Structure 1
């Protein structure tokens, strides 16, 4: 038996009894309408024209012309558009051979372009963890040999361990440095070229309205990375050609021209889907799609429907839970398995899971759990250990209802053993069919979205109403993190995490040192303050003599460089304006105090009040005390940022924020607690969730 992991409370365990669903307003046709918030936004008055149109006026006009689809509340969920025009997709440029040889068994091998290309993809990641992953290397070499076998030129390459990609790696390192050293004009030229591509492929016209296209770039070829312990990592992701692409466009619209010498695989006019182009990739044999951008009306409508469906579950969840709890003891084993799976999906936010083929990653969800994925620990602890979506490992130990524990024990009875299905009388299709009979459109994913959003909102009740913005943000991130943990949104700790944490700690030490210097200044101005504010003058173990010397050296050196740079800039400006230039004597006057201080520090002498007096011109007790208060606030906020960053090191907060948390919860929270929305939503997310921005501060999921 494995040592018991600390049990995590489930999503539903802390959920209060469900409130009755709010009555939805009726449309003229009698159907309930879907609204992003409580209050309807009032239509704006027509914008006044400005002549000539300034940049600000143009922006205002664009805002006025913006299509606020969420105010129309269109109930049609079958036909997605009436007219659709776009310019197709942008293909990555063809491979250009570099003719750098591969070294094999100390011999230089000149590869043909097809083989050189795949070898180059491996050379580029030579110093990463992928190149040290045996599965990645084995899969790469299998595909590499397959491509070599199709080349006309014979080769001796049979053993991966005898391959040396160093020359290619060094070539790509030089290319990186060359790109870094590009001139401003060269960079501007590249940007201009990208802008032209975006202008052509980055927009579409839906029902006559201009909309942004999301991923119009076809994925370039390369080596498949995958997440977690993916069995296909390292396989060659082949180049996509126009012949692989199916274009979806409006009837009668001009079909975009494919690249010269090519033709589209297929052209369709399907207005019941929202994709513009699609193709099948070769790694997982799955379809890839080009959609409109996240902030488009079609994407927004899809998001709104998803979250409204999750909100609808509020009115049914109590009955559903009551029924599946009763079914846990049903005489029918199939019913009992279904009820147990529903309990786990509800309480642990597990995905439903699908059957996997022999050539697919061995990832599972609730319905496809196998005997070995769940172990039992009396009296009621279940230990889960399996690969979830994207091969991310799910490990959890959780206390469950005693009947659930008994059922799992029954499902694992002999003759079942490793490899056997835990739920052998259940699959995802059967489960979702049952769920849809309980509520139209209900699936396991709706449960996951509902529980994630509901838990997030409940956790946000811990926000300190009178706290600082930083304290409120810490509460927000902890609520988000709670959902991310339960939804198993893990990530690997970045290599730079330790360095970043040390930089933050050093920043805090620097602030504490400033506070220490201000305290010295206060004591000089008013010696009685030492007795009044004893805590302010207490010694800080982090501010050692060695650290102070190192810090002062760094700060003083930077100050010297800043003065010299400013001197050069000032002289350049004077030269342009045909003014008298500054002399070296002028520079010396400014540098002398800094140089003298630097000499003292370089001798290893730690600054003291005598050698480095803190008094500044115009300093008063009141001003110093005000500065101290500000520094104390900055130190407090920096410590919270440090704590927040460390807690987030192995959790991906973005996944739940983008996919599972109703954005109206965040927006109403920001309004209620007076936190700028920019602190929680990036510009991309603000664009994506534009439809949710009008909610009231008291809106609830």
Structure 2
């Protein structure tokens, strides 16, 4: 796994523009200083010249003050800009001709998860109805299960099986001999302890919360930035993920497995030779320190679950935005496939279906074991080629038996530098968002209605990319609460309308100024409640439509943020309605550069 910079576009140009302006300003100052020096050395001049010189000095001093003030303002402006943009995002790497991404790279290394703190003696683990003291390693893994006790994951057979298998690896021989059946394990006391801790955190005072906030800010300032080629850059994620139980999505075969604690000896550090190399925690050392300027990652490690190093055909993936699909070692991961690894059993061909010709039906498990099911009409030539690929093959045979992702991407690289299968998927997502926004947005709509249109456009992208999720556990309850609010608001509206009707009748009878003002107040009250009701109804519609769709994945990883920013600026939608604070920091470059007429 690794963390690195989040690459952006064009913010580097803005920085260069400011630096050029600053350099020109400094050159101008030097010329003035030389001019002043020339005057100050002319002491042999007569009284008139001296008087004139004093006048010049006074003028120069005034100019110097103005220049100094102007220079200070420029530096402050640049500093504010870099604080807002430059130090939170990463500009495009320098276009070095040798393929280098940087010349200088320095950082403080990662922040590790805090060490395990044993449970208080009063908190018990029970086996077969009897309390049992666990060793620290076994107890820590037991707490992972206890924290999830009320989650549906812990009821799934595959989750329980994988957890118990990995948990036993952490037990002492004595514990292994006693704990042989997960069904006899009682984690309820542990679970209650963690619930109480959670409630205590919610009840913390403002001072306690502020103290935690300040400590997090201190850690951010120390570890959350790196220096790359004289730029201070924000690191996307500088914290090592704590140990826990793997969840996965869908019915992932590895759910419940133990995600082991990452230690310094697992970490590869990447920095420049002339930088100050990060120090490993006392008593430890890094696995390796590299100086590879052909990559932009800072820290790398191998996780035990997926067992791979993490760092952050043509017609099918171009048209359907399918993932290319990567080769996997047999038995190592779930039976998930992509475009290149499709098997015969994953598609069916229909010369005609529902008044459409040349229909292809796809049915397979994609990334994270999420089912992809789709029926799509294709060109006749594509349909005929697929028929040829299916000939004389068994259901378990590869559809594209002479192709893999490496061959595909190599071919694409020959067509255009940097072109990969994922580029098409990203393009399809972004162009779909732009087209949907144009179709769905009406200028006269209210802000809530426009945001609903945006989420519907985003939903179309998520469906295209097959970004599904299970409905949240609290979905039904939250919808009930929202419906209660809608009912209450409708009742308020009914009352407000009656009051408005009565006020109008009163004004009709009296025709005085007071009754006229009352009518206006009641009318505004009705209008305000109508707007509030509409907003709640929009929220309900939005939640219902997106309960099984993961909008965030495409928004953060596939969509060009300039499309969303331009849409916000065009229709007067606050950026905060689309991106939260963290997302605004990540996309600060797009917010800064995209105008309302931007076209993807």
Task: State the TM-score, normalizing by the size of structure 1.
Answer: 0.69
Residues 1:497 and 2:465 are matched in the alignment: no
Aligned to 1:696: 595
Aligned residue among 297, 318, 322 for 1:346: 318
Residues 1:207 and 2:229 are matched in the alignment: yes
Instruction: Give 5+ residue unaligned stretches, structure 2.
Output: 1-8, 23-65, 353-357, 509-513
1:80 CA drift (Å) = 2.0
Note if contact 2:86-2:233 (Cα within 8 Å) is conserved in structure 1.
no
Aligned residue among 402, 419, 423 for 2:400: 423
Of 137-146 and 633-642, the range deviating more from structure 2: 633-642
Aligned residue among 345, 348, 359 for 2:332: 359
CA distance in 2, matches of 1:657, 1:344: 23
Residues 1:455 and 2:428 are matched in the alignment: no
1:398-409 matched pairs, under 5 angstroms: 398-409=376-387
C-alpha change, 1:197 and 1:105, in structure 2 (3 Å) is: same
1:256 CA drift (Å) = 2.0
Note if contact 1:40-1:71 (Cα within 8 Å) is conserved in structure 2.
no
Residues 1:62 and 2:80 are matched in the alignment: yes
- The count of aligned residue pairs is 529
1:43-62 matched pairs, under 5 angstroms: 61-62=79-80
CA distance in 2, matches of 1:392, 1:406: 29
1:392 CA drift (Å) = 1.7
CA distance in 2, matches of 1:137, 1:42: 58
Note if contact 1:349-1:487 (Cα within 8 Å) is conserved in structure 2.
yes
1:141 CA drift (Å) = 0.7
Aligned to 1:247: 269
CA distance in 1, matches of 2:104, 2:15: 28
1:60 CA drift (Å) = 7.4
CA distance in 1, matches of 2:102, 2:515: 69
C-alpha change, 1:649 and 1:182, in structure 2 (3 Å) is: same
1:464 CA drift (Å) = 0.8
* 1:219-257 deviation per Cα after TM superposition (whole angstroms, max 9, x unaligned): 111111112221111111111111111111221222222
1:624-643 matched pairs, under 5 angstroms: 624-643=522-541
CA distance in 2, matches of 1:671, 1:151: 65
C-alpha change, 1:163 and 1:59, in structure 2 (3 Å) is: farther
* 1:442-485 deviation per Cα after TM superposition (whole angstroms, max 9, x unaligned): 22111111111112211121221232222222222211111110
Aligned to 1:110: 133
C-alpha change, 1:464 and 1:277, in structure 2 (3 Å) is: same
- Higher helix proportion, which one? 2
4+ long deviations beyond 6 Å = 36-42, 44-51, 57-60, 68-73
1:173 CA drift (Å) = 2.6
RMSD, aligned α-carbons: 3.4
Aligned to 2:55: none
Aligned to 1:686: 584
Secondary structure at the aligned position of 2:445 is classed as: coil
CA distance in 1, matches of 2:112, 2:82: 35
1:436-447 matched pairs, under 5 angstroms: 436-447=413-424
CA distance in 2, matches of 1:360, 1:427: 18
C-alpha change, 1:59 and 1:679, in structure 2 (3 Å) is: farther
C-alpha change, 1:486 and 1:111, in structure 2 (3 Å) is: same
Note if contact 1:356-1:362 (Cα within 8 Å) is conserved in structure 2.
no
1:94-493 matched pairs, under 5 angstroms: 94-98=115-119, 99=121, 100-148=123-171, 150-151=172-173, 155-289=177-311, 341-357=313-329, 358-379=331-352, 380-417=358-395, 419-462=396-439, 463-493=441-471
Note if contact 2:12-2:92 (Cα within 8 Å) is conserved in structure 1.
no
C-alpha change, 1:238 and 1:61, in structure 2 (3 Å) is: closer
CA distance in 2, matches of 1:649, 1:48: 59
CA distance in 2, matches of 1:261, 1:41: 43
Note if contact 1:386-1:395 (Cα within 8 Å) is conserved in structure 2.
yes
* 1:76-105 deviation per Cα after TM superposition (whole angstroms, max 9, x unaligned): 372222222221111122212225443222
C-alpha change, 1:103 and 1:71, in structure 2 (3 Å) is: closer
1:155 CA drift (Å) = 3.3
* 1:81-130 deviation per Cα after TM superposition (whole angstroms, max 9, x unaligned): 22222211111222122254432223332221111111121111111111
Aligned to 2:547: 649
1:369 CA drift (Å) = 0.9
Aligned residue among 569, 579, 587 for 1:671: 569
Residues 1:520 and 2:498 are matched in the alignment: yes
Secondary structure at the aligned position of 1:526 is classed as: helix
CA distance in 2, matches of 1:403, 1:458: 27
1:348 CA drift (Å) = 0.9
Note if contact 1:664-1:695 (Cα within 8 Å) is conserved in structure 2.
yes
